[in-house]
Amino acid sequence: MTTAETNSRARGMTLAAVRGLGLALVLLPGAVLCFTLSLVSIALIPIGVGIVTTPWVLTGVRAFADWRRVVAAQWGGVRIPPAYRPIPRDANPWTRTFGMLRDPATWRDLRWLPFDMTVGFVTALLPAVLVLYPLEGFALALGMWRIFPDGYWYGFLPITGQASAFGAAVLAAGFLVLAHFYATRLLRLHFTLTRAVLASNQGQLAERVRVLTETRRDAVDTSAAELRRIERDLHDGAQARLVAMGMDLGTIEMLLDKDPEQARQLLAQARKSSVDALAELRDLVRGIHPPVLAERGLGDAVRALALRLPVSTEVTVELPGRAEAPVESAAYFAVSEVLTNAVKHSGADRIWVDLHHAEGMLRASVTDNGKGGAVTGTGSGLAGVERRLGTFDGVLAVSSPVGGPTLVTMELPCALS
């Protein structure tokens, strides 16, 4: 094994240990909290309280599961596709509660939580144990065994003196060798087990077809609403200005000989109306499909979008090619909606946008240093982003603790040209 390979394995071992430890510290309280709240909320449904609380609790469980899906993909290369049934935006609490409870994905999440707080916790912690436990063995060899006058056990080895302490160091070196070769694999094993419990197995194809049908219906409804908006904007904006300009030109024809001064004033007014109408048409076209997106691609389109924001925005782009036009458009408007939400609601004074492509996925993340508390529930802009991405099999994950910061991650499967 070359020096470069050894260094790479050492870095991978350390990174796996740090990630596994951090994951274990988060998943145990997170899984316990989600599972407890779910049981209590569902138990309160018969008295009516659960009708109100259950959708919120299950939405939190889905957010926790979606976060784990993103982590599994980014840290372990393990893809865990979600298959949640969409809930109508205007659904009442009763419909939302029983719609979510009838979703098989909800019960998969609830079965996964006890697994996550037991087997998941242990497998996430194993890489850190393999890396950190040898430190104790080396410390015993350096004399720490003396503070245990009644003896001490390191692994399966009793420590009674300096000779056995050196044996502990040898055993610690063995553990370190195991960590060197297997820490990264153990972390991947954790994510593989998570996929085995969290992912849909039975009826996956039928569920997939149903989800695609729902997302396509949402896409059609969204397109129809967008066409109505365009028609309304044309009728109330540019069309009205052009009609007024035509009337002004008719008046000018009559005034050219009788009142040239008044005719000149109306000409200036008609010129201004034409400029305003052209500006409105450009804004309308930009809202349908920005020219910079078609001409320069997603990266430059997002940079141009950031320049128009009132908040300082830093954009990082690592895209070696271009995705198909519909995917680029979906990603652009998804990022645009997230940025709009951040500007309107977060109170942030700085935003970071990162665009990159890896492992067949176009990933866009938007981070702000605002007050946090963003949710993906009904009525929020993020719910619309989730539906837009769902049309292309994309996913949305939101991390937004109260007090901030807020991190919104979007992923779309695609290949770059």
DSSP 399-416: E--TT--EEEEEEEE---
- Amino acid identity, position 121: F
CB 188 within 8 A of CB 13: no
- Closest among 67, 66, 75, 74 to 15, alpha carbons compared: 75
CB 345 within 8 A of CB 379: no
Rounded distance between C-alpha atoms, residue 347 and residue 369, angstroms: 8
Rounded distance between C-alpha atoms, residue 171 and residue 337, angstroms: 55
Rounded distance between C-alpha atoms, residue 19 and residue 13, angstroms: 10
The pLDDT, as a whole number, for residue 131 is: 77
Position with higher pLDDT, 318 vs 135: 318
Q: Is the peptide bond prior to 290 cis by the omega test (within 30 degrees of 0)?
A: no
Position with higher pLDDT, 285 vs 260: 260
- Amino acid identity, position 408: V
CB 157 within 8 A of CB 171: yes
Q: What is the mean pLDDT of residues 71-92?
A: 81
Lowest mean pLDDT among 45-59, 133-147, 170-184, 295-309: 133-147
Rounded distance between C-alpha atoms, residue 294 and residue 250, angstroms: 39
Position with higher pLDDT, 190 vs 13: 190
**Strand, coil or helix: what is 362?**
strand
The pLDDT, as a whole number, for residue 281 is: 62
Query: Is the pLDDT assigned to residue 221 strictly greater than 60?
Result: no
Position with higher pLDDT, 192 vs 180: 192
22-33 per-position pLDDT tens digit: 888 888 898 999
∠ CA(364), CA(368), CA(369), 5° rounding? 155
Position with higher pLDDT, 409 vs 228: 409
Q: H-helix or E-strand containing 36?
A: helix 3-43
The pLDDT, as a whole number, for residue 37 is: 92
Query: Is the pLDDT assigned to residue 342 strictly greater than 50?
Result: yes
**What is the 8-class DSSP label of residue 237?**
I
- Beta strand ranges found along 288-349 (DSSP E): 312-318
Lowest mean pLDDT among 25-29, 44-48, 323-327: 323-327
Rounded distance between C-alpha atoms, residue 108 and residue 106, angstroms: 5
pTM reported for the whole predicted model: 0.49
**CA dihedral over 378, 382, 385, 387, signed as positive or negative:** negative
Query: Is the pLDDT assigned to residue 202 strictly greater than 60?
Result: no
Q: What is the mean pLDDT of residues 287-303?
A: 77
Q: What are phi and psi of 294, to 5 degrees?
A: -70, -35
95-143 per-position pLDDT tens digit: 888 888 888 888 889 999 999 888 888 888 888 877 777 777 777 677 6
Query: Is the pLDDT assigned to residue 64 strictly greater than 50?
Result: yes
| Percent over 70 (pLDDT), the chain | 72
Query: Is the pLDDT assigned to residue 400 strictly greater than 50?
Result: yes
Position with higher pLDDT, 48 vs 243: 48
Phi-psi region for residue 77, left (φ > 0), alpha (ψ -120 to 50) or beta? left
Query: Is the pLDDT assigned to residue 42 strictly greater than 60?
Result: yes
The pLDDT, as a whole number, for residue 148 is: 66
- Closest among 383, 393, 327 to 86, alpha carbons compared: 383
The pLDDT, as a whole number, for residue 358 is: 85
The pLDDT-based confidence of 36 (bands split at 50, 70, 90) is very high
- Closest among 371, 391, 337, 66 to 214, alpha carbons compared: 391
Q: What are phi and psi of 27, to 5 degrees?
A: -70, -35
Query: Is the pLDDT assigned to residue 145 strictly greater than 60?
Result: yes
230-283 per-position pLDDT tens digit: 566 555 555 666 666 677 677 776 766 677 777 677 777 777 767 666 666 665
Q: H-helix or E-strand containing 228?
A: helix 204-233
